[in-house]
Structure 1
Amino acid sequence: MQELERGGDPGVAWLVAVARGASLAVNAAEASLWLVLRGGLDIAARTGAFRLGAGQWIHFDRGACPVLHAGERTVAIGMVIPADMQLQALRSPQLALFPGRGAMSALMQRLLARRWRAVAGTPVRGIQAIAADRWQMERWLRAAAGLQQGQQAQIARCPGRSLSHRRQVYARMQRALLYIEGHMDRVVRIGELAELSSMSVWYFTKTFRAVYGECPQAASVRLRLANSARLIRETPLSITEVGAASGFENNCSFSRAFRTHFGVSPSLYRNGERSVPADRANPMDRACGAVA
């Protein structure tokens, strides 16, 4: 385990890589973006716990302090963004990155990996942390912003008289959505999400529905069911254990919700009775056309 702490000039951004069984704790309070090029990456953060596969990405807001654990065959790259650069990015459509996660196209993955290596200059082995100047990082941020193409429709649905205000509200909604995704093992109370977003419960629920087209409770159920389908496919856990790990009180409620959502029981799904398409993990992916 290696810790990455902010030192020296607080305005300096870092390009970071973690690979081949290494673990990295980012203690800096800045935002960070992580891309998995190969293998799987487990992340524990204040926002929650996440499992990323090859071709997936995640962006944390300030204060998440993620701890990353790479698999033996994993190669993941990322950047730690200083506070002033993050504020500048949120004001600029060319540099904006909002909290969230999703999937990369093969073309985007190659582009970001190539630009990352152009700055780093060396192959990824274990853990690397390279300080980069502002011009290099802005160039990389401009390319990384392409990961969230299609978000303008959601931003337009946010309340606010100015575009700047709507973008701030959207960042709060994305932070809440990422919090739901980080707690797949339980039902997240709306009060938690409203407090996280610095809104009243009524205003948060209204805004969330306007942005994503579903209420927070429905998003939580959908995401937990999508996660349960992954657990059934990829792990030897029993159906009862999968239901408990997905935040359902008992096997009956889990089986009923699973059948309603996917049209087939969990047992038949495991036995391959019916091919069920993977659910999209993030409503934003519907606009981006990426399957998470």
Structure 2
Amino acid sequence: MPEGVTSAWMQLRGTATVQCQEGSFRLGRGEWILLDHRSQPCVQSDRLGICMGLHFGTDALTALGEGANSLYAGRGRMCRDDMQIALRLRRRLDLVPDGRVTLRNDLRPLLLLMADLQRDIATLSLRCPGRSLTQRAGFMARLQVSRLHLEGHPQLDHRVDDLASVAGVPARYFSRVSRPCTGCRRYRSPGGCGWIMRYGCCGRGR
């Protein structure tokens, strides 16, 4: 997938492997992942697997409408009811006349479902610094990209400086605000050469 396209992937059956800028991820049944416009993912499902993908541009939030939650890079799980809703909405796209799918009228229900799956992340975004909800959401989006980078390379110990660089914020500031905003924890590295980060689970979306 080319750079500049945001994508969401929902695993409805079997498993799939996602390779992207943030690392490598394995999706099991009922799991989803949303990747930002720089990720350039390559997704490979197993022989019997079904992985449903959506891709959209920067006008997606406009299509969601006023009052809807932002969409963030991240991972999470769906319950069975959510999986059935996603599949039903996807099948509805096959019935669009002439196959001309529009973001506002046709993809909007699926995007709203994804926003609902991320409501735990949206709640945590309220803890982020910023004078407005838009500023807080923007900061959370940066933290979520760094979190995916950490989770996509589980074999590595990630220095705070490196994750702050991914998020595009100063390391000291990142270290201070990332724990209350995302639930991450900071540890002294075994070699004593700095601080490393670990994340715990954050529910449906993380």
SS at match of 1:102: strand
Matched residue, 1:115: 89
Query: 1:104/1:133 Cα in 2 relative to 1: closer, same or farther (>3 Å)?
Result: same
TM-score, structure 1 length as denominator? 0.61
Runs of at least 5 residues in structure 2 that lack an aligned partner in the other structure = 192-198
Matched residue, 1:77: 52
Instruction: Quote how far apart the aligned CAs of 1:89 are.
Output: 6.4
SS at match of 1:83: coil
Matched residue, 1:187: 157
Query: 1:152/1:210 Cα in 2 relative to 1: closer, same or farther (>3 Å)?
Result: same
CA RMSD of aligned residues (A): 2.7
Q: How does 1:40-51 map to 2 (within 5 A)?
A: 40-51=15-26
Matched residue, 2:172: 202
CA distance in 2, matches of 1:210, 1:77: 33
Structure that is richer in helix per residue: 1
**For each residue in 1:178-227, what CA deviation from the matched residue of structure 2 results, as whole angstroms up to 9, or x when unmatched?**
11111112112222211111111000111111213333559xx9xxxxxx
Matched residue, 1:17: none
Query: 1:55/1:99 Cα in 2 relative to 1: closer, same or farther (>3 Å)?
Result: same
The structure 1 residue matched to 2:6, chosen from 28, 31, 38, is 31
Matched residue, 1:100: 74
Query: 1:59/1:282 Cα in 2 relative to 1: closer, same or farther (>3 Å)?
Result: farther
Give 4+ residue runs of structure 1 displaced > 6 Å after superposition.
none
CA distance in 1, matches of 2:77, 2:132: 30
Is residue 9–residue 54 contact of structure 2 (8 Å, CA) maintained in 1? yes
- Point out the structure with max Rg over C-alpha: 1
Query: 1:180/1:89 Cα in 2 relative to 1: closer, same or farther (>3 Å)?
Result: farther
Q: How does 1:128-143 map to 2 (within 5 A)?
A: 132-134=101-103, 135-143=105-113
Instruction: Quote how far apart the aligned CAs of 1:282 are.
Output: 5.8
Runs of at least 5 residues in structure 1 that lack an aligned partner in the other structure = 1-25, 122-129, 222-247, 250-280
Relative contact order higher in (CA < 8 Å, ≥ 6 apart): 2
**For each residue in 1:264-284, what CA deviation from the matched residue of structure 2 results, as whole angstroms up to 9, or x when unmatched?**
xxxxxxxxxxxxxxxxx8633
Asked if residue 174 in structure 1 is aligned to residue 144 in structure 2, the reply is yes
Matched length:
196
Asked if residue 284 in structure 1 is aligned to residue 202 in structure 2, the reply is yes
Query: 1:117/1:216 Cα in 2 relative to 1: closer, same or farther (>3 Å)?
Result: farther
SS at match of 2:10: strand
Is residue 160–residue 171 contact of structure 2 (8 Å, CA) maintained in 1? yes
Is residue 205–residue 215 contact of structure 1 (8 Å, CA) maintained in 2? no
Q: Quick one: which amino acid aligns to residue 115 of structure 2?
A: A
